[in-house]
Amino acid sequence: MRQIAIYGKGGIGKSTTVQNLAAALAENGRKLMVIGCDPKSDCTRLLQGGCARKTVLEEMRSNPQGVKLEDILHEGCFGIRCVESGGPEPGVGCAGRGIITAINLLEELGAYDKSLDYVFYDVLGDVVCGGFAMPIREGKAHEIYIVASGELMSLYAANNIAKGIARFANTGDVRVGGIICNSRLVDGEQKLVDTFAQELGTHTISSIPRDNIVQHAEIHRQTVITYAPDSVQAEIYRSLGTALENNTTFTIPTPLTQERLEELFMDSIQFNNKY
Amino acid sequence: MKVRDEKKQQQLEKLLVQLPTNSEKRLLPIPGIFYGGGCSYMACRGLMMSPMDDVLLITHGPTGCGFFSGINSRTDYNSTNKPLFRGRCFSTNMRESDIIFGGEQKLLAAIEEAVELFHPEAIAVCATCPVALIGDDIEQVAKTAEERFGVRVLPLSCEGFRTGAGWLHGGKMLVENWMGETELAHGKYPIHFMSESYHGRNKNELKNIFERIGYDVVCSMMGSNSYERIRSGHQAELIVLDSRKEIDEVPLMIQKRYGGGFFRASFTGIANIIASLRRMADYFGTSDLREKTEQVITEELESLEKQWLIYRARYSGKTAAFFEDVFRSDSYSALSSDLGMEIVMVAQDYQRLEVTDENFILHMSLQRLDNSLQTGGKLPCQVEKIQDGRAYFRLSRNQVRQFLVLLKPYICFAGIEEQFNYADAPVKSELFTSEERGVQYSGFSGILQYARDLEMAEFMSHWLTKKPAAWSFGDTEG
Amino acid sequence: MKTFDSQGDSRKLQIDPLNMCPPIGAIYAALGIHACLPHSHGASGCCRFQRMELSKHFQKIIRVTSSMLLESSAIFGGEENLRTAVNNAFQVYSPEVLAIHTTCLSETIGDDVGGIVKNLDVPASRRIVYASTPGYAGSPLTGYASMLEAIIRQIPARREKKIKKLLLLPGMLNPSDIGEVARYAGLFFDQLTVLPDVRGVLDWQTPRNVREYAPGGTPLAEIISLGACSDAIALGAEATAAGASALAELNITAAQLTVPVGIEATDRFIESLCRRSARKVPDSIKAERTRAVDVLMHLHPTLYHKKAAIFCDADLAVPLTEFLAGIGMLPVFVCTGFAQKAFMDSIRAIFERYHIDGIVLSQADRYDLEQFLRETPVDILIGGSRGKILSRKLGIPLLRFGFPVIDRPLEYLYPYTGYRGCLYLLQKILCTLQDFAEQDTLAEDLHIAESF
């Protein structure tokens, strides 16, 4: 069982990527579980064809001692098991603690079935507090993929995430598997992300071009794989799946300094202006 | 009225010595080192809030904090009409889901239930660690509750990890929110006696003295107190602080707002009490008050005299050493000195940051120092300063031990925290002078209680060290 | 009446809590290891509260270090403080094992104690154990269980050669009770490990020198070679189940039994020992049982249909209820501050077996108990010291039982477990009832020995 956590700046397209990736893998006969670690609980919306019914924390709140696995584990397309951790309303409580509790509970209930090939953690935004690092603590996800684009803020966030990972990598065996470039149509994006990945000590595992079909699929609450199985974009997600499956480069990231990061960005802009 | 025997009083007063007190702060907590102190919550709830009989305290936090602090409340022996919730302990019992989803709604509901069940006039909400972390806005909840349920609610952010002392926060909040709201009838000389030991036996003792002189204790923060007394606490013309805590900020704040006087005093040890009472009389400056003060001092000394002199005869000239925290050693050395004992050494730990280099402040009389040196002793370290006939040293724990070997005191007082292990003193005291045992030494008769406890310690040491088991001889032979 | 038979959680305001928080259980378990220093990863006050409670129960100094987390730690995490604390603790107190437990504060910050500990320099031949015990999740038994599980998962070496040896997980009992169950176990097994074993620690004077430790506790070497044990018995459910299941890693299967309070529970314990050791029950035990049953027969009339309300921790409440029901008393109200679901089922099963129309409540507080007692008075209350206010208020005598008993000294010296414990428990119940009955009788009207 490979446990994989996906991090990245908020709004970068993590959830979309994870769900399409998951669908591509599941279509190919893999058994997997997607755990959404986001209080908004919309990480598995496309897989389930709508928002989650019962989240782990909601269930725990209403029925503290009698949470049953079948109440929180929902089956999505291609038999993908979907779990949403859920969490508090914006501005109250502690979402980080929620993630810790939810993952502990899943473990207790035996959600980590041995027959699973993959477990994906879709974690919101930055690693802002201890709770958001829960999926990469010992015994959980060993591989991490960071979703990024060519925008400075996105790379900045990715670098920050790498700092967090480096911290845990030194004590445990969590490693970065690569960067997934989710294109924002920024000039020189591919090259910039590639250089960034290289300096981080990893590589760009795949680049996903921007395509309107993704939006169409989302409106229909579907992944591209199910909505337009024959489209080019679906094929791209499939190839991401293959790349991930065959990936053997796992490294401890070496985060960039702030100056170096800005320098990279400046270089990229100048490079583009020149040509 | 009895005629005052001035000469006799002067004779008695001559027996008394005023000892210096240390102004250093108490030990700071160091991670990984045993620490006797509590936390902000403990201090705020236990020390500042719980003595107020008629304020319903709700601990906003997990069940443990509420459970443990439930025994922390004081009892006021004199008050009648106990409120319905006296002796109870309230908590919002935060669970995991409250931590995740926030506890504001639960707190509001809890306040509503408290009002329905017990109809308190005022409620105080004490926050525990998780509250600040999850960002519960208890001030807003308190405001809403005040509007909705018509009850006063005081929100106290005394989370356990707060660096500021809990009693200070509690005291400030009381002054800011409740003080000055109402006026009550009071005596001619209204005072605010701020002391955590103003309850139980101590209270009866001191109240008696104050009333006989003519003072009216209108408020007593940390001591026996109530909601109404806090609200009218500004009416006190003088604040007398007898406390071990660094709480001066609160009386200064009251003074700034409402005027009046403020000073620190001590009501432990005869010399201290007499000095404090005279200072209080001087503040008001009326002759009848001065007269009454002297009269009460005479009366008290007279009623003590017989027993006191017996104890004094027994302990006079005996040497005592203190190896204690700042607060206790000052009280105990004052009391011992009143019994005629010679205080050869006071070693007090004080605020320090390093672990390995333990710092103590030690002071002793110059005369004693000279005597020891003349008989061939060697000083473990250099004198730091000489002041008022006493020599001061700054030294480590181990050096304190060397001083003890040098001075050979008859009795050595050491606290549990100091874990003192000085085997050579004929009398060792470790536990008997413990406030946690409920022993209180304030007031004139405190000296007798102290002497009795001293006697007990002496007997114990005799028992333990001088009487081996009957079979121990056979043991060694075999 | 029916309203009580639920989870008791409809009230948001907790009035007079019944249970403490998990960290105190973790400290209790940690103290059962020889030369172990419990460490509280939290603010300074937590362990102060818990030390005070333990100190008052056992009348001795309890030493626990703390990370002393402050406001800065709440924001930046407690790692720095934990590092300093561990360093200082080893340097100044030199424990063989440092047992770290978390608190509300560190759990909410989300400190990864496991990760931090991995990176620490631990002096040679010393060990660190860490357990997660957030104060808002569970009871002291939960904390005890987490610490026990942590000890079993983190210390023992793998692949030990098996020998005929019993591992006894006694649960959160007084030292005297552990002595009693260990005595029984020793009659069946020549080799025995009790984990954790608070004998010689909590009933022993705390050494004056901070670098010295009481002689008791399970030695570290014995925990390392835990895998050599052939059999295991875990007493109680909430305190030991997690530890017992962790034993699977060491190829030990544990029998899970209730704490042997009362004849039946002791019978089951002896039976299990007997089967696992393949030895006969010694005559001395038979004699003990005969005496206990004999006395019971004799005293039965005075106890018959006396009603009792029980409020203590779940692991003790179950066998106590069974015992009282078995001797003809009516334990009509059983409540605890926090318990797992199985607790309710076990108590209900006992009610059913003895046809008792009783009520069981978990997540309860003493106010629930009070409300119940106002409707249905009972003859005796059985529980901790804090019940004394209720006892006075309602005029029902209180028998102090379980942990903590902080207002009557030396209670921890007298065992309630085993057949001899039955007799002691019986005597206490009878004396409590009798003292109370005679309390208001005029001197002239007192019978010297009416009931017996």
Size of interface B-C (CB pairs under 8 A): 189
Residue of B nearest to C110 (CA): B133
Binding-face residues of C in 188-247 toward B, CB within 8 A: 208-210
C-alpha–C-alpha distance, residues B212 and C383, integer Å: 46
Whole-number pLDDT of residue A224: 92
Closest in C22, C65, C67 to B34, CB measured: C65
pLDDT tens digits, one per residue of B52-87: 888 999 999 999 999 998 876 565 655 667 788 888
Say if residues C239 and C315 touch (Cβ distance below 8 Å).
Answer: yes
Each residue's pLDDT tens digit, B137-169: 999 999 999 999 999 999 999 999 887 788 899
Distances from the Cα of C393 to the Cαs of B66, B81, C310, in angstroms? Answer: 21, 15, 17
Interchain CB contact of A89 with B (< 8 Å): yes
CB contact under 8 A, C92 and B32: yes
Region A67-71: mean pLDDT is 87
Is C108 within 8 Å of chain A by CB? yes
- Min Cα distance C225 → chain A (Å) is 25
Chain C CB contacts of A94 under 8 Å are: 108
Chain A positions in Cβ-Cβ contact with residue B99 (cut-off 8 Å): 93-94, 97
- For A96-154, write each residue's pLDDT tens digit: 888 888 888 888 888 888 899 999 999 876 666 777 778 877 668 889 999 998 888 88
SS3 sequence, chain A?
Answer: CEEEEEEECCCCCHHHHHHHHHHHHHHCCCCEEEEEECCCCCCCHHHHCCCCCCCHHHHHHHCCCCCCHHHHCEECHHHCEEEECCCCCCCCCCHHHHHHHHHHHHHHHCCCCCCCCEEEEEECCCCCCHHHHHHHCCCCCCEEEEEECCCHHHHHHHHHHHHHHHHHHHHCCCEEEEEEEECCCCCCHHHHHHHHHHHCCCCEEEEECCCHHHHHHHHCCCCHHHHCCCCHHHHHHHHHHHHHHHCCCCECCCCCCHHHHHHHHHHHHHHHHHC
The C-alpha of B231 sits at a distance from chain A's nearest C-alpha, in angstroms, of 34
In Å, how far is B130's CA from the nearest CA of chain A? Answer: 10
ipTM > 0.85 (yes/no): yes
pTM of the model: 0.88
B61 to chain A nearest CA, in Å? 13
Q: Does A170 touch chain C (CB under 8 A)?
A: yes
- Whether chain C has a CB inside 8 Å of the CB on B87: the answer is yes
What is residue B247's predicted lDDT score, i.e. its pLDDT?
A: 85
Contact C331, C347 (CB under 8 A): no
The chains found to touch A (3+ Cβ pairs under 8 angstroms) are B, C
**What would the mean pLDDT of B425-434 be, rounded to a whole number?**
58
Whole-number pLDDT of residue B151: 95
Residues of C in Cβ contact (< 8 Å) with B31 = 65-68, 81-82, 84-85, 88
Please name the amino acid found at residue A39: P
Using an 8 Å CB-CB cutoff, list chain C residues near B88.
15-16, 367, 389
What is the C-alpha to C-alpha distance for residues C56 and B438, in angstroms, rounded to an integer?
Answer: 13
A57 touches chain B (CB under 8 A): yes
State the maximum Cα–Cα separation within chain A, in Å, rounded to a whole number.
64
With CB atoms and an 8 Å threshold, state whether A94 touches B99. yes
C114 and A137 within 8 Å at the Cβ level: the answer is yes
CB-CB under 8 Å, C39 with B96: no
| CB-based contact, C109 to chain B, within 8 Å | yes
List pLDDT tens digits, range C276-331.
999 999 999 999 999 999 999 988 888 999 999 999 999 999 999 999 999 999 99
The catalytic residues of A are: 9, 14, 40, 126
* Coil vs helix vs strand at C279: coil
pLDDT (tens digit per residue) in C237-246? 999 999 999 9
Cβ proximity of A76 and A82 under 8 Å: yes
Q: What is the pLDDT of residue B54?
A: 87
Minimum mean pLDDT range among B107-111, B319-323, C211-215, C366-370? B319-323
- The three-point CA angle A219-A225-A226 to 5° equals 65
pLDDT recorded at residue A62: 81
Q: Does residue B244 or residue B308 have the better pLDDT?
A: B308
> How far does B28 lie from chain C, in Å, by closest CA?
10
Element at C368 (helix H, strand E): helix C366-375
3-state secondary structure of C223: helix
Pairing of strands C14-15, B90-91: antiparallel
Residue-by-residue DSSP string for B331-382: HHHHHHHHTT-EEEEEEEE-----SSS--EEEEEEHHHHHHHHHTT---SS-
Residues β-bridged to residue B264: B241
